[in-house]
């Protein structure tokens, strides 16, 4: 296939999430793309895709529009709430043009018409993968392990705070807080963004309870690793 060799140069370490309810199409597409990506997770609806996304980091999301339980439009919206820089490619049938404007307004810029032309898909994947490679590191998905100091680290994929080899217990709310702050280490997250992130995880918190949560969390992490910026928000100061 055209671009296949070049695509391999960019995707060997990337993870792809694929949501498509048509089993035969899903399986045949995975069979082709598994030759290019380090990991491909494939599901048959948006709900399952979102559940996987909340527990892992994906470089590219490829999704159909019309699926049971949660369609591709709603899925894209929820993914952008979690990570506004997420690379999303939409599969669309000829009669689904009414969905395209909302997706474009969200920021989706890559669409593949069904039936899939796999040369076109590979060309789009190449374009997206090149952009990922050339995106400043601060805008890319966070690394799997965040070193807080020489002895403490946060494992984003497994939701573990580790001191040496010992795991330190975290509540669900503490995990959510560390997830957003470690998504871009050093970036200051305003209280409003933190509140919205909790809502995207189907939880709620306000500014007063954020302060209480931070006070308790600071007893578990290195003293200077969570910095509060008065009147603005919070950030993680990771020591790599």
Q: Is the peptide bond prior to 115 cis by the omega test (within 30 degrees of 0)? A: yes
Which of 108, 139, 170 corresponds to the end of one domain? 139
CATH code of residue 133: 3.40.50.2300
**182/238 Cα distance (integer angstroms):** 8
Which residues are paired to 91 by β-bridges? 64, 112
> What is the residue-averaged pLDDT of the chain?
88
* In a shared domain, residues 77 and 50: yes
Residue 143 banded pLDDT, cuts 50, 70, 90: low
Residue 231: C-alpha distances to residues 223, 228, 234 (Å): 20, 9, 10
Question: Which tokens belong to 64?
Answer: 């159909």
Percent of the chain with pLDDT over 70: 93
**pLDDT in the model for residue 135:** 64
Q: Is the pLDDT of residue 49 over 90?
A: yes
The number of angstroms, rounded, from the C-alpha of 120 to the middle of its chain's C-alpha atoms is 24
* One domain for residues 16 and 106: yes
Instruction: Kindly tell me if the per-residue pLDDT of 138 is higher than 50.
Output: no
CATH number at residue 212: 1.10.10.10
CB burial of 116-127 (b: ≥16 within 10 Å; e: otherwise) equals eebeebbbbbbb
Question: How many structural domains compose the chain?
Answer: 2
Please report the pLDDT score of residue 146 as a whole number. 83
Same domain, yes or no: 29 and 52 = yes
The residue among 110, 139, 168 that closes a domain is 139
Domain enclosing residue 213, as ranges:
145-236
Which regions of 56-163 does DSSP assign to beta strands (E)? 60-64, 87-92, 110-113, 145-147, 152-155, 160-163
How much is the pTM?
Answer: 0.59
Same domain? 207 vs 97? no
Instruction: Decide which of 124, 139, 154 is a domain's last residue.
Output: 139
Strand partners for 190: 233
Residues 182-230 have pLDDT tens digits of 887 778 889 999 999 999 999 999 999 999 999 999 999 987 899 998 8
């Amino acid at each position: 296939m055209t671009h296949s060799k070049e695509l391999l140069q960019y995707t060997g370490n990337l993870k792809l999430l694929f949501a498509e309810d048509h089993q035969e199409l899903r399986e045949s597409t995975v069979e082709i793309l598994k030759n290019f990506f380090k990991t491909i997770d494939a599901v048959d609806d948006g709900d399952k895709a979102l559940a996987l996304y909340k527990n892992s980091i994906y470089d590219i999301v490829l999704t159909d529009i019309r699926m049971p339980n949660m369609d591709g439009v709603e899925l894209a919206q929820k993914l952008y709430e979690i990570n506004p820089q997420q690379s999303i490619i939409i599969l669309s049938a000829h009669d689904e043009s009414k969905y395209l404007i909302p997706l474009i307004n969200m920021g989706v810029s890559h669409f593949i018409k069904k039936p899939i032309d796999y040369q076109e898909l590979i060309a789009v994947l190449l374009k997206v993968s090149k952009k990922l490679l050339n995106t400043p590191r601060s805008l890319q998905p966070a690394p799997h392990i965040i070193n807080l100091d020489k002895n403490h680290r946060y494992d984003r994929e497994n939701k573990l705070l580790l001191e040496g080899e010992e795991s330190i217990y975290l509540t669900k709310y503490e995990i959510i807080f560390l997830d957003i702050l470690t998504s871009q280490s050093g970036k200051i997250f305003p209280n409003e963004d933190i509140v919205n992130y909790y809502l995207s995880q189907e939880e709620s918190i306000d500014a007063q309870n954020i302060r209480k949560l931070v006070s308790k969390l600071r007893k578990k992490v290195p003293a200077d690793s969570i910095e509060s910026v008065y009147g603005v928000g919070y950030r993680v100061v990771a020591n790599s």
